[in-house]
Structure 1
Amino acid sequence: MANWFGLDRLFVAASRKALNSWVSPDVHTENLADLKLDPNKPVCYVLQSPSLSNALLVDRETQQLGLPRALKPMDTHLFREDQSFFYLTQEASSQSAAKNRFEYADRFVRLVEAVRQNPELDVQLVPVTILWGRSPDKEESLFKILFSDSWSSPGAIKQLATVVLNGKSTLVKFGSPLLVRSLMADDMSESLALRKIARVLRVHFRRQREMAIGPDLSHRRTLMNSILQSGAVRTAIHEESVEKQLPPEAIEEKAREYVNEIAADYAYPVIRSLSLLLNWLWTRLYDGVEVHHFEEVTKMASDYEIIYTPCHRSHIDYLLLSYVIHDRGLMPPHIAAGANLNIPVVGPILRRGGAFFLRRSFKGNNLYAAVFTEYLHLITTKGFPIEYFIEGGRSRTGRLLPPKGGMLAMTVKSYMRDSTRPIAFIPTYIGYERLMEGSTYIGELRGKAKQQESLASVVMAARKIEKIFGKVHLSFGEPILLDDILEQENPGWKKQQWDVEAKLPWVNRSVSKLANQINTNINSTAVINPITLLSLVLLSTPNHAIDEDVLVRQLELYQQLALRLPYSNKIEVTHMAPVNIVSYGVQLKAIQRVKHPLGDLVCVADNQAVFLTYFRNNILHLYIIPSLVACLVQQNGEIQREQLVRVISSLYPYLQSELFLGFDASEIESLVNRHVDTLTEFGLMTSENGTVNSPHPNTEAFAQLVVLGEAVKESMERYYMTITLLTQRGSGKVKQKQLEDLCSLLAQRLSVLYEFNSPEFFDKGIFRNFIETLKKVGFLRVDEEELLHFDERLINMAHQAHLVLRPEALNTILHITSVSDEEIASAMAQLEAKGKKKGQG
């Protein structure tokens, strides 16, 4: 091996001077406090492979951080070495290579032997990872990217170019110290001790590099052959060969085509190039990208297979999440993208950036399903972080969509096959202040054909609206460990033998529980930004207009509620003052100020009301309980706390299912009482001797209570409409699909006639979710003919509506749902014809 420090002292001194003047790395110091170096034990730093520049850099950084110097002697009365570091990987000699023998650094061998021979001696090994060109926020040149760190070891010339080009964009990470004595047994031989300690260090360096630039899976042909030779794919090839009476070679070629269609072709230089492009894009489009709670991801990345499961609001989500992860020093995930994005020019770039493509449905194509499942298993077990959207598509309403379990089920089954590396799901909230695809979403909700999803459509949408997008927020939620979910459903499952292809009820329950928990955790890390707050307030006012001073006080009330009674410890609330929130909304053209001699008014800007429902729905779940408390108190004038708790407890399962609320049913009583106490403290109600009273109708407090209570009204109106339709038709008279269609049609009519025409109000998926929850709690059952049956409990639930809804709202719903059987039959026929025409188109 080359002995760098046997070189002329002048050369080393000159190299040190040049490095000190040119290189300014990003040193990850967040773990230095955890180093806890013992001053009574010598410290030896471990570098992965021979490099003079790395040794000089570590020496400089240890000096600046006040740590023992790397190039100074290790000198105790028990042990002495000229320098305090060694390289783990050596340059293999021809003799050792011929014997296929691993060669250890002489200093490494000596210190292990010294610890073995002297019971009083121990040495602290501190692994140091250096990644040249891995400080994304400082990257400026595509040329530099070619000379950044990868899995291949650079030669001396390339290393020199790397230092020159990337000296100011380099990452240095100090690992936690390892005690030599703790890594070997007392009776362990020298060779065995060296092998064990080297293995631990190699694992550390590999994980650090995987976290930053991903696993070494560069040979795509090897990956393809591994998939094609797997048992599941071979079985699928054989079965299709028999079924279609084609030679196995022809079916294997089709499977090979599927692999090419699906698999990413990950190229780190492309990732780095995209990072430069995206940095320019965010600067141009947004006022900033704010990231919350990422530190938990960093802590888990080295020990867990990370699967990011963000909400899906825009095509920008793909790019944004990868950019943020890369910008913070971790490897961008492989992203499950729809096959519709695999288009010329764009598709290959995304594929090289880590995207893998999947079709909307695997139904009827067992070979494709086997290939895709095996590919997912391979990249999961190889340690690649993965990202997919469990909602199945972008939300058109701003609410989280009911999760689809397909990708989750495949992930769970993959883990059951190989559970050596634990899996952590990272629910991620993404919040915008303006949305590129907004007009497209509104059109689709109103019945227009869904536009073909593509990045080109995003670009076209961006050209049609002013480029005022405000800020974007990414908030990383509480991780969910797959082991915990599986153990809850089947304790000790790892000790049992499973056929993962069999239909196992406990696995299905685990997938369902996991999916629901992901959505719940996404909502538990939401960000209350200025636009969501303005939307929540203004859409709860008559004509969507309000006195500016009153608006400011209402905004302050909502901020204080979120701070005093936080939905969770991960919720972020804008620190912007209410007065500035109003100005900010005007700046983003979401609202407009109307001058008036008696005081300025604020109203929703022209044609923005429907768009603002999207942003209101981003945080509606955070205020649904205080809104329901306010609604019940204001509507009834006075109400017993006991009755307040009882009514909210009875409604909670439906709100929880619709909004993925994170509270357990057992918490509702305490939750309601805390809100009553806080709203009483704010002066919005009074409470005495178990009775809660509304303020006088002519007071400002009453007006604030009315606005707060409006947020829950739409949900209550939908629930009452569904129950009214059911009870009017009668038990066993209507099928679920017919009921969903009819509810949507009548809600659309109600929205046009009596509310502002918001397509979110008559979203069929919300009605479907409510009906499913009624079935889940036992208020509805389905017979063999798929007809819905109910009993007195549903009728009693309808009778409670007067506690929540105003008499005029109840009468309106009763009137609009009073349709004859002939009218229903006609409407259903029209819907069916429309559906057939759409399908033919």
Structure 2
Amino acid sequence: MIPKFLKKRIFKAPVTTDSASTTDVHPIASKPYTKTPINQLYRKLSGQLLDVAVKPKLLGELPEFEADDQILRFYVLQDYSRSNSILIDLQTQEYNLPPALVGVNDAAHHIKENAAIIFLNHPHAKDNQLSPRLSRLVSAVLQYPELKVRLVPVSILWGRAPEKEDSLFKLLTADNWEDPSITKQLFNIGVMGRDTFVQFHPPQDLRTIINDSLKIDLAGNHILDSAVSETQSFETQNSELQSAHVKSSSMHSIDENNLDEAPKYTMVASADGNRELVRMLQQHLTVYLDKQRASMLGPDLSDRRNLVDKLVYSPAIKHAIETEAAETGTSVRDARSLARGYANEMVNDYSHSIIRGFYKFLTWLWTQLYDGVEVHHFERVRELATDYELVYVPCHRSHVDYLLLSYVIYKRGLSIPYIAAGDNLDVPVLGPILRGAVAFYIRRSFRGNALYTAVLREYMHTLITRNTPIEYFIEGGRSRSGRLLPPKMGMLAMTIHSQLRQTNKPVVFIPTYIGYERIMEGGTYVGELKGKPKESESLMGLLKVGRKIERIFGNVHLSFGKPLYLSDFMQKFDVSANSLPADRTDTPLDDKASAMVDNIGVKIMQHINKAAVVTPVSLLSLVLLSAPKAALDESSCREQIALYQGLAQQLAYSDDTVITDMSPQQIIDYGIKLKLIERTPHILGDIIQVAGKQAALLSYFRNNILHVFILLSFLAALVARNGRIERSRLNSIAEQLYPFLQGELFLYYPAHSLTGTLDKKVDSLLSHGLVVELGNGMLSVPESNSMCYQQLQVLATPVGQSLERYFMTLALLAQQGSGNLTENEVVDLCHLLGQRLSVLYADDIPDFFDRALFTSFISALTRLDYLQKDEATGVLTFDHRINDIAHHAKYVLTPDMMQILQQVASLDEDEITHAITEISNKKQRKFGRKR
């Protein structure tokens, strides 16, 4: 606590002084800054005392200043506060920024300010609370065209708890302290000092802000008229300027076509002039800081009980309750009670103490689990946070995902999103904690329950209209194979439904890639892919995971993809804003809106993959699992890694894709450190191979980046399997099979321009010597005993599994005939055949027979009209084109493999019946356990 005898010295001493006896030149902005010995003593004493009580945390990035000695820089704070002034001064000293509490003296432009801080709301301001310092700077900028002034808005939060609606405590914990409220300042320092946050926002050019304001106001012309009415000659004011240290301003003539042109004539107004202009600038800066504050804290909180009441008694839910009562024959009261129960199931219960506890715990946990948390492209999110409704749509790889993403967002200064979580996580102890950490729970299945759907839609609508950031996993569940799962459109449709009911802020989707180098659930995923029942979440399961904290999990990567603006899709699909009734939840989306939902879902998945991070572990996995027996001599391993890095860098999958900059040897050493691979010494050269029982786990990380190399692998396989092939033939086969690879791996290359993409990739293979051009459009493999030939064979391997699945599925369809199997039966049978094939003939890596992959292939066949599905029975019909697609497999698969696949897919009627019966019984038992 601060001693009483020093309180007056800290809070009553003037923050700035008009006198100047010494000069202090800052290394970044070397304009003269003046300060007196008294000011130096004040800064030192108050700063030291405040430094003891307050430990501010810096949010965001430090501002980047131009290396120009002639630029004057001022920090902009919303409200006058002695404690805030000292705090900003300490921060500028700590981070070597231009000083805040030092006088700014620019004799050439008649500027003499006692500090480099502008308070937008100053208790000593006259003229309707206009900032005196901002007024003087505006006048100087208008007077001198060459003067450069940069304003750096600064946000200071004494605590990051969102304010509660109608809270009495809000009066004591407000962030902004006015001059008389010394008690409040002491309360802030004493109570919130260890929970203080500072964020410096990007510098803004004052002249640009002025010009933008004039452009906006040009139609009214009242700013210009105000300045003209107060025009005086510079000579008449000169004596007043010298005594008051106040600089006159000039108003340039305004050309409506180009406000940035040189002025045609000059007008001079007093420093008290330009009131409307200064008021507009001050409003601009105030709104800017208000938006920044809202993006950091989120919307004001409503008490959970009140929120449930508002939901239940909203017009939309009233209608849903009446409909439920009429359809089920129950009373309105009973239906309302049921709706209230649904709302209590899902509504979160924000607790700032839980958030703070999680933040501290996770800060410790990540240092125990990971070597580092790498974040890419977060600046995109920060730029959008103030003006858009943010909807984070990450891939789902682990239970750690939502903790990690929220932690990264919170640490970088934005409010954490409300997370849609499956009700399987709403277990004792853990469930309430996650609910306090802004999780809201959703049932895994509620199809046919109209009232539950209505309550969930209305709750989502409430969050969106209150500008609450939201997060949901569009895949629905965690990927067990490392590939992206097909998108589930339910939450996405609800988001769009809300936006079409009422538009507040425009919605923007933030696709987010999360990549690990080891995952806690790795062993569980392998078991589930092999057929073990899924483990339900529980506190005991959480404790089991906790035992793994001492293990090494490498680095984890979060990469924020290119934002997807809902307004762009609405324009593309001709969907009108506010086209649905605001007081109803049951209005269906029309065909155009439904098509838009499907398109957005696919684009989100494609943008997640575009933001992929090619980590050392994923690259190592791709190389070794493509080699015979998952082993290479160390020199060959290094060369293959270098090849993959070179291919990925020469022809980047996307501008958002991040490639590890580790050297090949560092990557190998890193894999050994994580105990994923091992080095076997040998007199002819050490051998690098996958460590025991790690192959299945490494396939998970290989699949994370398979999409980056899949077309290169496909082209390599076409050349490698045929020895020679015409370039035109290669393109033709690739174009025929590309839609299936695109559907499986969410490739973003459009089919209509695929030829150009293929040509670039073939040229890349040629430049690396993996393919040889013979002339007349003929391509060939390199010499069979060369290193390039061996590298081509390894590169050709990854696409093989996908093509084997395709051929096996097509063979099954062809043998069973059109109109004999349903879609679900085909997927189930292919899953069983894949298991059998993997055990008998392959490496028993379970991601080969992942059911989601067969579902994706059947969906692609249906979308391209190779299959037709009877909506009533689900039976699939097809024609001879199925055999035509299978015919292309011979250009990639070996005859032996095709024979094996053909044999495995040969099932007689009794085998089909037995398999379908067993699968049905297994599903019923599984469903019974869930219930």
Deviates more, 1:299-308 or 1:50-59: 50-59
**Contact 2:428–2:539 (Cα < 8 Å) also in 1:** no
Are positions 1:623 and 2:742 aligned together? Answer: no
Over residues 611-647 of structure 1, what are the superposed CA-to-partner deviations in whole Å (9 max), with x where a residue is unaligned?
1111111111111011011111010000000001111
Deviates more, 1:75-84 or 1:415-424: 75-84
**Which structure would you say has the larger Rg?**
2
Residue 155 of structure 2: aligned partner: 130
Tell me: CA distance 1:702–1:59, structure 2 relative to 1, closer, same or farther (3 Å).
closer
Over residues 445-465 of structure 1, what are the superposed CA-to-partner deviations in whole Å (9 max), with x where a residue is unaligned?
122211113565244145269
Residue 716 of structure 1: aligned partner: 803
**Contact 1:147–1:161 (Cα < 8 Å) also in 2:** no
Are positions 1:158 and 2:246 aligned together? Answer: no
SS at match of 2:705: helix
Tell me: CA distance 1:249–1:587, structure 2 relative to 1, closer, same or farther (3 Å).
same
Are positions 1:737 and 2:818 aligned together? Answer: no
Matches of residues 498-517 of structure 1 in structure 2 within 5 Å? Answer: 501-517=587-603
1: CA distance between counterparts of 2:314 and 2:691? 58
Aligned residues: 818
2: CA distance between counterparts of 1:357 and 1:65? 45
Tell me: CA distance 1:29–1:719, structure 2 relative to 1, closer, same or farther (3 Å).
closer
2: CA distance between counterparts of 1:73 and 1:222? 55
Residue 47 of structure 2: aligned partner: 20
Residue 54 of structure 1: aligned partner: 84
Residue 399 of structure 2: aligned partner: 315
1: CA distance between counterparts of 2:927 and 2:187? 58
Residue 653 of structure 2: aligned partner: 567
Are positions 1:654 and 2:730 aligned together? Answer: no
**Contact 2:820–2:875 (Cα < 8 Å) also in 1:** yes
Residue 171 of structure 1: aligned partner: 199
Residue 919 of structure 2: aligned partner: 831
Deviates more, 1:298-307 or 1:77-86: 77-86
| TM superposition shift of 1:823 | 1.6
SS at match of 2:413: coil
**Contact 1:338–1:358 (Cα < 8 Å) also in 2:** yes
Matches of residues 366-385 of structure 1 in structure 2 within 5 Å? Answer: 366-385=450-469
2: CA distance between counterparts of 1:75 and 1:359? 69
2: CA distance between counterparts of 1:396 and 1:53? 52
2: CA distance between counterparts of 1:29 and 1:394? 32
SS at match of 2:131: helix
Tell me: CA distance 1:115–1:547, structure 2 relative to 1, closer, same or farther (3 Å).
closer
Over residues 417-440 of structure 1, what are the superposed CA-to-partner deviations in whole Å (9 max), with x where a residue is unaligned?
222311211111111111101111
2: CA distance between counterparts of 1:235 and 1:529? 52
Tell me: CA distance 1:382–1:27, structure 2 relative to 1, closer, same or farther (3 Å).
closer
**Contact 2:105–2:111 (Cα < 8 Å) also in 1:** no
TM-score by length of 1: 0.88
Deviates more, 1:148-157 or 1:565-574: 148-157
Tell me: CA distance 1:175–1:598, structure 2 relative to 1, closer, same or farther (3 Å).
closer
2: CA distance between counterparts of 1:552 and 1:320? 32
Tell me: CA distance 1:252–1:427, structure 2 relative to 1, closer, same or farther (3 Å).
same
Q: 1:260 aligns with which of 341, 344, 352?
A: 344
| TM superposition shift of 1:35 | 13
Residue 588 of structure 1: aligned partner: 674
2: CA distance between counterparts of 1:594 and 1:35? 54
Tell me: CA distance 1:462–1:542, structure 2 relative to 1, closer, same or farther (3 Å).
farther
SS at match of 1:434: coil
Q: 1:482 aligns with which of 560, 563, 566?
A: 566
Over residues 60-102 of structure 1, what are the superposed CA-to-partner deviations in whole Å (9 max), with x where a residue is unaligned?
777964488786699999999877766445789xxxxxxxxx9
2: CA distance between counterparts of 1:707 and 1:8? 70
**Contact 1:87–1:105 (Cα < 8 Å) also in 2:** no
Q: In structure 1, what residue type is equivalent to 2:418?
A: H
**Contact 1:266–1:354 (Cα < 8 Å) also in 2:** yes
2: CA distance between counterparts of 1:328 and 1:797? 50
Residue 140 of structure 1: aligned partner: none
2: CA distance between counterparts of 1:377 and 1:35? 47
Tell me: CA distance 1:538–1:554, structure 2 relative to 1, closer, same or farther (3 Å).
same
2: CA distance between counterparts of 1:730 and 1:801? 20
Are positions 1:390 and 2:474 aligned together? Answer: yes
SS at match of 1:421: coil
2: CA distance between counterparts of 1:621 and 1:748? 23
SS at match of 2:547: helix
1: CA distance between counterparts of 2:282 and 2:564? 32
SS at match of 2:811: helix
Are positions 1:187 and 2:222 aligned together? Answer: yes
SS at match of 1:255: helix
Tell me: CA distance 1:608–1:127, structure 2 relative to 1, closer, same or farther (3 Å).
closer
Q: 1:799 aligns with which of 887, 891, 895?
A: 887
Tell me: CA distance 1:550–1:594, structure 2 relative to 1, closer, same or farther (3 Å).
same
SS at match of 2:589: coil
1: CA distance between counterparts of 2:875 and 2:317? 41
Over residues 37-76 of structure 1, what are the superposed CA-to-partner deviations in whole Å (9 max), with x where a residue is unaligned?
996xx98764323311213444677796448878669999
| TM superposition shift of 1:335 | 1.1
Tell me: CA distance 1:496–1:324, structure 2 relative to 1, closer, same or farther (3 Å).
closer
Q: 1:773 aligns with which of 850, 860, 864?
A: 860
Q: In structure 1, what residue type is equivalent to 2:536?
A: Q
Q: In structure 2, what residue type is equivalent to 1:236?
A: A
1: CA distance between counterparts of 2:157 and 2:343? 33
Q: In structure 2, what residue type is equivalent to 1:554?
A: Q
2: CA distance between counterparts of 1:293 and 1:115? 35
Residue 96 of structure 1: aligned partner: none
Tell me: CA distance 1:601–1:79, structure 2 relative to 1, closer, same or farther (3 Å).
closer
Over residues 693-717 of structure 1, what are the superposed CA-to-partner deviations in whole Å (9 max), with x where a residue is unaligned?
0123333322211111010000000
Q: In structure 1, what residue type is equivalent to 2:85?
A: A
Structure 2 portions without partners, runs of 5+: 1-7, 18-36, 162-169, 178-182, 227-273
CA RMSD of aligned residues (A): 3.8
Tell me: CA distance 1:376–1:750, structure 2 relative to 1, closer, same or farther (3 Å).
same
Over residues 162-187 of structure 1, what are the superposed CA-to-partner deviations in whole Å (9 max), with x where a residue is unaligned?
685467x6434466344396376543
Residue 696 of structure 2: aligned partner: 610
**Contact 1:134–1:171 (Cα < 8 Å) also in 2:** no
Are positions 1:344 and 2:428 aligned together? Answer: yes
SS at match of 1:502: coil
Tell me: CA distance 1:257–1:112, structure 2 relative to 1, closer, same or farther (3 Å).
farther
Q: 1:726 aligns with which of 813, 817, 842?
A: 813
Identity, % of aligned pairs?
Answer: 40
Over residues 395-434 of structure 1, what are the superposed CA-to-partner deviations in whole Å (9 max), with x where a residue is unaligned?
0110100000111111111111222311211111111111
Residue 760 of structure 2: aligned partner: 674
Residue 329 of structure 1: aligned partner: 413
Deviates more, 1:715-724 or 1:59-68: 59-68
1: CA distance between counterparts of 2:654 and 2:697? 27
Structure 1 portions without partners, runs of 5+: 93-101, 137-145
1: CA distance between counterparts of 2:303 and 2:389? 21
**Contact 1:88–1:104 (Cα < 8 Å) also in 2:** no
2: CA distance between counterparts of 1:350 and 1:91? 43
2: CA distance between counterparts of 1:513 and 1:269? 40
Q: In structure 2, what residue type is equivalent to 1:801?
A: A
1: CA distance between counterparts of 2:77 and 2:640? 58
2: CA distance between counterparts of 1:652 and 1:832? 33
Tell me: CA distance 1:764–1:45, structure 2 relative to 1, closer, same or farther (3 Å).
closer
